Structure 1
Amino acid sequence: MVKVKFTPYNKEIDVLEGENLLEAIRKAGVFIDTPCNGSGSCGKCKVKITAGNVISEDSRHITEKEKKEGYVLACQCKVKEDISVEIPGTASSSMHGMKIEDFSSKREYEIFERAKNQILKCGMEFKTYVRKDYLELDLPNLNDNISDFERLKRHIKNHLNCSNVFCRLPILRKIPQLLREADFKVTITHIPRGVGKTTIIDIEKGDTTDKIYGVAVDIGTTSVAACLVDLYNGELIAKASSGNAQIKYGADVINRIMYSTKGNGLQELNHAVIQETINPLLNKMYMDSGIRKEQVVSFVTAGNTTMSHLFLGLYSNFLRMEPYIPAFVKTPFIKASELNIEVNPETFIYLIPCVASYVGGDITAGVLSSGMWNTEDNILFIDLGTNGEIVFGNKEYLMTCACSAGPAFEGGEISCGMRASGGAIEKVKIGSDYEPIISVIGNEKPLGICGSGIIDLICSMMFAGIIDRKGKIVKNLKTNRVRFDENGIGEYILVFKEQYDLDRDVSITDVDIDNFIRAKAAIYSGITTLLNNLGMDFTMIDKIYIAGGIGNSLNIGNAVKIGMLPDIDQHKINYIGNSSLMGCYLTLMSEDARHKLEEIANHMTYVELSVDPLYMDQFVSACFLPHTDIEKFPSVKKLLDKSI
């Protein structure tokens, strides 16, 4: 055994000689970003060996200078003796404090109100199906000596018109002592199930009917967002968000599925999303609001199909293998105690139904909140996340696909990419002198660049003449911000490390740009293929709704200019925030909305792009700025002609 010490975390563990350093980091409970899940391709697990030696493989991500300073890729080295390892701040900075779209800003509040009004205009009830009722039971005596539970059921039958009353063992265990401590004056929390039936999920002393809470959670591949809700009036009591702790096992669903098949991988992924992500967010909201977890009696969550499987701890390998079959698309109600979620243990967990292997409940929830199911307009709904799900349709039909955009929109596969958290560059402009003007989340020192910033950066570089339309950095520019390595790979320096005392420059390379062009091409070609399957084209789109983790800072004009979105009237394109979280909220607050979203899931037609011959042709054509056929982007062509 050898010792591995981690700074600045002041942690130390014993590992076997020859063990992979990345696995040692994971065992120590130290978070480190590993989008490629240890394949060595992303370079994000860069660490510094400050004492001792390791057996390390060479990597293009480690320069000769860094190698001399002790830097290695954790996934590409083995421990051979006692060592000390320094985890750079950039390796773990984006896990918490992510800029998740919520309902706090005026814009988001308006989007939220619009989604809520969609439900109300359709005559749906906007109130929770969970009930609280105060009961004053008859005291037992020798003449009335029925059991405590029968006494409770008798009162409920006489006063609440429920003849069939159910509860589970944990509630039954509470009843004897609690009734007597409360002098038989109690409040029950229950869920009516059809005519004359109800299930008790909690019992409390006295009258507590004024307080009842629920939680909505969006489980994204990259980030998780949650809100705590007053179930009586729909008020948002608290909100919280963070990176999904599963990130350390890979940035995309395929890497995580593969990891889940190894050893205890499935249990580790389930633990990461519940114990390391969701429960800490819940406890933060409880602390912020002064609410006890026992008061939370309703829980609605959504995720893509892989996230839903991993949330439940289900084997998911068949999702990535043809014919791509999920274990489920709709689950029965599950108790919180079965998943060890930090709410009232008798709370039912409602997981929003999925559609197919790569179109999950987050899209069902997004379609619900978008209102496209209730309009005659042709709506294009795009979730700009790792999977790049697209839905097209209206009240008559809904067709959907997923186009494997990858993690680039959220900073993955980009050397200085990061998620939209404090220190991320979210907006960029470049002048004719090749000098950038940047905007950083939280006004902190820039640590990296997130999805919206990358779109701005690539667009600005194209119009400033720093890159050509293939996305390659132009040589012989008169600026110190462009440099080339020994292999001819170009790099544009956005922030010099000396400016802010950083560990490294913040830059973008030819390889990064190529990765991002592939991601934007996947979205554009997915849209084109989906419309083609319907015999339609861009002129038939009435509105485009953009959702997902790319953030409120998305510059729609720049997204069109690089060829990610079709070149249509930009007034038709709107960002609608975290539509999945909004859909969870609506489902939490309205049983009618829950019925509607199940109807939506049942009526969506899924198109498998991997077997559509048109998709790959469209994808290859879209791997250009903005496209190989510039005539498809007339407004961009006009601007490019002016800039020449």
Structure 2
Amino acid sequence: MSVRFRIRGEFRVAESAPGSTLADLAFAAGIPLNTACGARGSCGRCAVILHEGSFLVRDREITVSPGAPRRTLACATRTVSADALVEIPDRSLIEQRARIADDFTLPPFEWTPVQRRATVTIPGGGWQTASSDVERLATALGAAGGPVAFSMDLDAARTLPSAQAGPACVDVSWGPYRGATDVTVAAPAGTTRHLGLAVDLGTTTVVVLLADLETGHVLGRTSAYNAQMRKGDDVAARISVGSTADGLRALHSLIVRETVNPLVEEVCAKAVCAPGDIVRVTAAGNSVMAHLFLGLSPAGIGALPFQPVRRRHPECRARDLGLLANGNAIVDVLPSMTGHVGGDLVADACAARLLDRNGLVMLVDIGTNGEILLWDGHRLLCTATAAGPAFEGAGLRHGMRAADGAVDHIRWTDGPNVEWTTIGNAPAAGFCGSAVIDFVAQSFKAGLLDAVGRFDMDRLRAAGVDVRVEHCGRSIHACRVVPAEATSTGHALTVSEADVAEILKAKAAIHAGIVTLLATAGRRIEDLDTLILAGGFARHIHLRHAAWMGLLPDLPPGRIEVIGNGSLAGAFLALGDLAAAPEFERIVRAAEPVELNLCPGFESAYIDSMLLPNAVPSAFAMAVSEMGRPSEPLDS
């Protein structure tokens, strides 16, 4: 039996296997189907159109004839006929041409690579000496300023050229490994390069950076969506899947073999080098991603008392993980602070030199799991708040991730009339997170939204953008932002009151976390000297709009720093700064976890933060002044 999938006018064929759902067959055919719920049938994002054939839909058999299509979920449907035709709409695909942040800002530092290399000559052997090639290598390395005492496993010894018949010129790479010095590679001189790979292990996206370990020169970087998304698009779903042995193996393979390894191939091809030249790998990610990358169960992170298998991870070999690199390459995974504040925040803090700063400094990484650090010169408080995926476009009627065609910025002009831009200047396909922030902030400023996120229907009608949409079986108010003729789908793009409610819940979680962490330290927002924003999302949002809607503290721009992808920056430092590893440990030791659900003021702070910009307007005095919102309702 075979299934023909039609995508954007093209066809792909997959051979059906017993028990396979249409989602399974789509993945087998290389189709990036969106199964955000882990193919459990709850998110509705893998909707497909059945055009021809017999199918089993949730154990009920149906037959579809040409000209009478039926909609269904790919994860809940199996084919039972010899041949079938299934159409997959664009909205059911994971965007593949994403705008993924791979840039970062670092203070000046001296390049001192953790993995070093020297070219030495091993003297020839003879009857007069009883020393081995490895022993004479140690003597030669010591004379060149390298280690005299080291470990060397079989893989490295097998590549060591023989010096029994005469001197042998050898390129030797060595570095720290489990408390000792390890000779990782010893190969004939001139046959290998000395490269390092830094990896940002994001829940949604993964970025790799290839660097020359001798010079620190960045040879290339590339990124992709995390292939684990087919098992679930958030940390909670990954924990659920990874709590079984089969699920853990699947997630480990998805991150290593189907995400990182293809990126390694791509970046090495661009740099005209071989993956085998990579001798050191450093990776930073949240605690769950670090566990899945290493093949460790994340189950403990998802249940009380929310503790990981380990916070500090010993080095391992690339071959142990199935990672595409020199099999003997050493892999370092950055340590975590807690089960919910991971190595990505340790990397952020190191890249920002957080513990070396004066004054009251807060670092925020806005994401599905918003992570927050507060440093006052003596204490480092850390917490995480479940913001959800709304800022990635998930859960919104026309939300999408940042990819070609995503509306990335929105502006209301006099009238009011709406203007927008899209990534890649492509026809509009949906709204990404930065556009969502613009819409809420500017609509509130223009008086189109009130403080509780409801539309002023008189103003909406006057602007000619009022529509009604279906949501959970009922008709609700919405604002038409992009007309049908300007979209790639031929349907207008709208933001509904239900969408606004999701956005307000996400922003409330972040802001309440900020306020509560400050309160734990006996401080308030106005006491902040510096706010550091980490993560790719912060690179693309309008910071004042984020304050207008009450997502970020209402601080002057001069007190806000944006460092970009701090997770990748920290992994890069782990490759080339000998001071990085001690700093990671310093950060982990200093961290004091704060459980927001145990803080008495968190719930009230969350409720206050559900309003625009907040139920405590004095905390947003500058934003309120800038907006100058209309105070009177518009007469119809």
Q: TM-score, normalised by structure 1?
A: 0.89
How far residue 534 of structure 1 moved from its aligned partner, in angstroms, is: 0.8
Correspondence for 1:335 among 313, 317, 342 = 317
Distance 1:501 1:258, change over 3 A: same
How far residue 582 of structure 1 moved from its aligned partner, in angstroms, is: 0.9
Q: Which residue does the alignment assign to 2:120?
A: 135
Q: Which amino acid in the other structure matches residue 137 of structure 2?
A: L
Q: Which residue does the alignment assign to 2:61?
A: none
Per-residue deviation, residues 97-117 of structure 1 (Å, max 9, x unmatched): 4323334xxxx5xx33xx2x2
Distance 1:231 1:97, change over 3 A: farther
* Alignment pair present for 1:423 and 2:405: yes
Distance 1:494 1:68, change over 3 A: farther
Q: Which residue does the alignment assign to 1:37?
A: 38
Q: Which residue does the alignment assign to 1:214?
A: 196
How far residue 217 of structure 1 moved from its aligned partner, in angstroms, is: 0.9
How far residue 472 of structure 1 moved from its aligned partner, in angstroms, is: 2.7
Distance 1:643 1:76, change over 3 A: farther
Q: Which residue does the alignment assign to 1:384?
A: 366
Correspondence for 1:243 among 225, 231, 251 = 225
- In the alignment, the residues of structure 2 paired with residue 382 and residue 138 of structure 1 have an alpha-carbon distance, to the nearest angstrom, of 56
- In the alignment, the residues of structure 2 paired with residue 4 and residue 374 of structure 1 have an alpha-carbon distance, to the nearest angstrom, of 59
Distance 1:359 1:193, change over 3 A: closer
| 2:161–2:168 Cα contact (<8 Å) kept | no
Per-residue deviation, residues 153-194 of structure 1 (Å, max 9, x unmatched): 3433555464423211112222356x6899622111112679
How far residue 254 of structure 1 moved from its aligned partner, in angstroms, is: 0.3
How far residue 643 of structure 1 moved from its aligned partner, in angstroms, is: 5.9
| 2:451–2:613 Cα contact (<8 Å) kept | yes
Per-residue deviation, residues 361-390 of structure 1 (Å, max 9, x unmatched): 000000111122101121111001111000
Distance 1:358 1:331, change over 3 A: same
How far residue 559 of structure 1 moved from its aligned partner, in angstroms, is: 0.4
Distance 1:467 1:194, change over 3 A: closer
How far residue 432 of structure 1 moved from its aligned partner, in angstroms, is: 4.3
The 5 Å alignment of 1:247-286 reads 247-262=229-244, 264-286=246-268
Q: Which amino acid in the other structure matches residue 71 of structure 2?
A: Y
Correspondence for 2:566 among 579, 594, 597 = 579
Distance 1:535 1:47, change over 3 A: same
Deviates more, 1:304-313 or 1:403-412: 403-412
Correspondence for 2:18 among 16, 19, 33 = 16
The 5 Å alignment of 1:322-471 reads 322-471=304-453
| 1:302–1:365 Cα contact (<8 Å) kept | yes
Distance 1:206 1:457, change over 3 A: same
Q: Which residue does the alignment assign to 1:601?
A: 588
* Alignment pair present for 1:199 and 2:182: yes
Distance 1:4 1:132, change over 3 A: same
Identity of counterpart residues, as a percentage?
Answer: 28
Distance 1:610 1:144, change over 3 A: same
Distance 1:85 1:183, change over 3 A: farther
Q: Which residue does the alignment assign to 1:530?
A: 517
- In the alignment, the residues of structure 1 paired with residue 533 and residue 454 of structure 2 have an alpha-carbon distance, to the nearest angstrom, of 28
Per-residue deviation, residues 190-210 of structure 1 (Å, max 9, x unmatched): 126799x6321112212469x
Unaligned runs of 5+ in 1: 58-66
Per-residue deviation, residues 54-94 of structure 1 (Å, max 9, x unmatched): 4558xxxxxxxxx9753333245454444322222343352
Q: Which residue does the alignment assign to 2:64?
A: none
* Alignment pair present for 1:101 and 2:85: no
Distance 1:20 1:293, change over 3 A: closer
Q: Which amino acid in the other structure matches residue 440 of structure 1?
A: T
Q: Which residue does the alignment assign to 1:62?
A: none
Q: Which residue does the alignment assign to 2:85?
A: 84
Q: Which residue does the alignment assign to 2:500?
A: 513
Q: Which residue does the alignment assign to 2:63?
A: none
How far residue 340 of structure 1 moved from its aligned partner, in angstroms, is: 1.2
The 5 Å alignment of 1:550-629 reads 550-629=537-616
- In the alignment, the residues of structure 2 paired with residue 609 and residue 428 of structure 1 have an alpha-carbon distance, to the nearest angstrom, of 33
How far residue 500 of structure 1 moved from its aligned partner, in angstroms, is: 3.9
3-state SS of the aligned residue for 1:635?
Answer: helix
Distance 1:437 1:620, change over 3 A: same
Distance 1:531 1:585, change over 3 A: same
Distance 1:47 1:193, change over 3 A: closer
How far residue 39 of structure 1 moved from its aligned partner, in angstroms, is: 4.9
| 1:420–1:551 Cα contact (<8 Å) kept | no
- In the alignment, the residues of structure 1 paired with residue 356 and residue 102 of structure 2 have an alpha-carbon distance, to the nearest angstrom, of 24
| 1:529–1:618 Cα contact (<8 Å) kept | yes
- In the alignment, the residues of structure 1 paired with residue 354 and residue 165 of structure 2 have an alpha-carbon distance, to the nearest angstrom, of 52
| 1:463–1:643 Cα contact (<8 Å) kept | no
The 5 Å alignment of 1:154-173 reads 154-157=139-142, 159-160=144-145, 162-173=147-158
- Matched length: 614
Q: TM-score, normalised by structure 2?
A: 0.90
Unaligned runs of 5+ in 2: 59-66
How far residue 53 of structure 1 moved from its aligned partner, in angstroms, is: 4.7
| 1:35–1:413 Cα contact (<8 Å) kept | no
- In the alignment, the residues of structure 2 paired with residue 494 and residue 69 of structure 1 have an alpha-carbon distance, to the nearest angstrom, of 30
| 1:543–1:573 Cα contact (<8 Å) kept | yes
How far residue 416 of structure 1 moved from its aligned partner, in angstroms, is: 2.1
| 1:222–1:410 Cα contact (<8 Å) kept | no
Distance 1:181 1:468, change over 3 A: farther
- In the alignment, the residues of structure 1 paired with residue 178 and residue 267 of structure 2 have an alpha-carbon distance, to the nearest angstrom, of 33
Aligned-CA RMSD value? 2.7
Q: Which amino acid in the other structure matches residue 499 of structure 2?
A: D
Q: Which amino acid in the other structure matches residue 361 of structure 1?
A: G
Q: Which residue does the alignment assign to 2:3?
A: 4
Per-residue deviation, residues 123-170 of structure 1 (Å, max 9, x unmatched): xx5310212111222223444464433443343355546442321111
3-state SS of the aligned residue for 1:165?
Answer: coil
| 1:427–1:553 Cα contact (<8 Å) kept | no
- In the alignment, the residues of structure 1 paired with residue 314 and residue 176 of structure 2 have an alpha-carbon distance, to the nearest angstrom, of 16
Distance 1:469 1:77, change over 3 A: farther
Q: Which residue does the alignment assign to 1:60?
A: none
How far residue 10 of structure 1 moved from its aligned partner, in angstroms, is: 1.1
3-state SS of the aligned residue for 1:227?
Answer: strand
How far residue 51 of structure 1 moved from its aligned partner, in angstroms, is: 2.1
Distance 1:151 1:233, change over 3 A: closer
